[in-house]
Amino acid sequence: MANYSFILFPTKSPETKTIYEIITHGNQVVHRKSLGIRITEKNWDKTKKRVKSKEPNAQEINRILREKEEQFQFENPRSQTLNTEKSCALQYMEQELERGYQDGTKKVSTYNKYRTVLSTLRKVVQEKFGTKYLPFKKLKDLETIRQITIGLQRGYGKSGKPKKPAVISNYISILKSFIDHWNRYSGTQSPVNSSTFFNFIQKKQVKKLAPSITRHQIKELENYVPVQRRKRCYTSQILSKNIFLFQYYSAGIRFIDAITMTNTMIMEDKLVIPIRKTSDFISAPFYFPMMEVLNEYFPHQYQQAMNDVKLGKVILDARSIQQLFRLEGIDFVNLNHDQLTGIIREVTSQQSDSELTHYLFDIQNRLETQIIKYFFKLVKDLPAQFIFPMLIYDDFKDSLENGKDFTQEQEYDIHRARTRHNSALKRISENMEIPTLTGHVPRHTLANHMAYMGNSEEEIRQVLGHANVRTTKIYLRERHGFSGSFDIMKRFHQVKK
């Protein structure tokens, strides 16, 4: 095994020596090179191979020597394995991350996220400790953890904004997961106590309500039309608005699942949508407003469905037919949706017969069910394509048809799409003067509305496709407080009345 060390060589001055780096293999010297650093011989510690504090610039010289040692260890894995306490935790993190990416246990999105965390940690280590290496043994020192936590507070992005405690906690959690992996598989006799990693993160944080909008604001969003100043801006806002609403209508699916949804996922009476995050599926029944938001992208299919499906194709019960015959001079068999809507509007405005109005609304719902089934059949019969024109289908065709994970290039396209989407939603929020919308707000909004309707946590979990109800509890607790408090107080007030 090669050994790396330092040795002093004489200069013309008897008391001054030059520090050389030296690599030996057994008794043979295989490399020797001057570092160009001159010191007084009596200020050299032969045992530690370091400069004593009496030497001018001792701290800087020792930093260089330490970095040289670490560099040799990490560039020569045969001489120093990654299972030793002296090896670099950041390099171990990178090694395991690359291994996970290669064997498919780390998805590209997770890989990219962890690479960002790793890059930030390297900047922190360089800034705080003056080196690009972080030995495992150094992580046993609480001061190291404190300095890393302080360093993470700084913003290294373009905005330069400090990171929030929740973000810092997330970064520390990722680092901790790799350290725990090293503790488990390195065979070390002296593991790092990773439970101390959260000691210096701000504990008491002001709880914020989970982002959500009201049913009234959903209705306002359905009717939202951007100010048409620039065509590109107008188009992007309309697209983002429609994707947002579609997510809400279809079981609060995630943004990535909405924009990568294809017409091949349409079944006879529902959508079966793959969940990229959990590799599972979720079913969403057809809902008439879904067709309204897709009208922009499938106008011919929309018009054909609205015109071709007449009331005569809808199976009605005898009582409903009897109510229809109360309306004179109307050809019910050839009545389409727009005509039926006009009749309902006229009957409702008269406010004279609530029973007839009730049956007309029921008949309208049945007609809409037939229309949307026909509409989605027409869309399904088209060549394979994305439901929303946010991405180019041919760029994703191989991954989608063969069930592969997305590539780096595809994940980057999705990242760019998400950025454009959130920017457009932000403009919509400002124009509507409502809380800032993002691609994840539909999930929180749907969970919020279902909770107020009295759905159980388990029911909401199934709709959102959470693998564990604990995740659903977090969604609800962020807006409703501790589980059950809302229902308990609601019953309490009802009793008081």
Residue 468 belongs to a domain with what CATH number? 1.10.443.10
Residue after which a domain boundary falls, among 379, 397, 417? 379
Alpha carbon distances (Å) from 232 to 8, 224, 229, 239, 430: 69, 17, 9, 11, 18
**How far apart, in whole angstroms, are the C-alpha atoms of residue 177 and residue 183?**
10
Q: Which residues span the domain enclosing 110? A: 89-198
Check pLDDT > 70 for residue 446.
Answer: yes
Which of 107-121, 250-264, 412-426, 481-495 comes out lowest in average pLDDT? 481-495
| pLDDT single digits (tens) 69-104 | 777 766 665 444 455 777 889 989 998 888 888 766
Look at residue 497 and tell me if it is in a domain.
no
Q: Check whether residue 369 and residue 391 sit in a common domain.
A: no
Contact between 368 and 337 (Cβ < 8 Å): yes
Residue after which a domain boundary falls, among 198, 232, 255? 198
Look at residue 84 and tell me if it is in a domain.
no
Is residue 178 packed enough to be buried (19+ CB in 10 Å), middle (13-18) or exposed (0-12)?
A: buried
Q: Check whether residue 400 and residue 286 sit in a common domain.
A: yes
Q: What share of the chain is helix, strand, coil (3-state, %, to 5)?
A: 55, 10, 30
Q: Check whether residue 396 and residue 457 sit in a common domain.
A: yes
Look at residue 496 and tell me if it is in a domain.
no
Look at residue 208 and tell me if it is in a domain.
no
| pLDDT single digits (tens) 105-157 | 777 888 888 999 999 999 999 999 988 889 998 999 999 999 999 999 887 66
Look at residue 494 and tell me if it is in a domain.
no
| pLDDT single digits (tens) 182-194 | 998 888 888 999 9
Q: Check whether residue 286 and residue 416 sit in a common domain.
A: yes
Contact between 78 and 87 (Cβ < 8 Å): no
* pLDDT > 70 in the chain, percent: 90
Q: Check whether residue 219 and residue 313 sit in a common domain.
A: no
Q: Check whether residue 249 and residue 276 sit in a common domain.
A: yes
Count: domains in the chain: 4
Q: Check whether residue 153 and residue 29 sit in a common domain.
A: no
Look at residue 57 and tell me if it is in a domain.
yes
Q: Check whether residue 61 and residue 163 sit in a common domain.
A: no
Q: Check whether residue 278 and residue 411 sit in a common domain.
A: yes
Look at residue 413 and tell me if it is in a domain.
yes
Q: Check whether residue 280 and residue 422 sit in a common domain.
A: yes
Which of 134-143, 213-222, 337-346 comes out lowest in average pLDDT? 337-346
Look at residue 207 and tell me if it is in a domain.
no
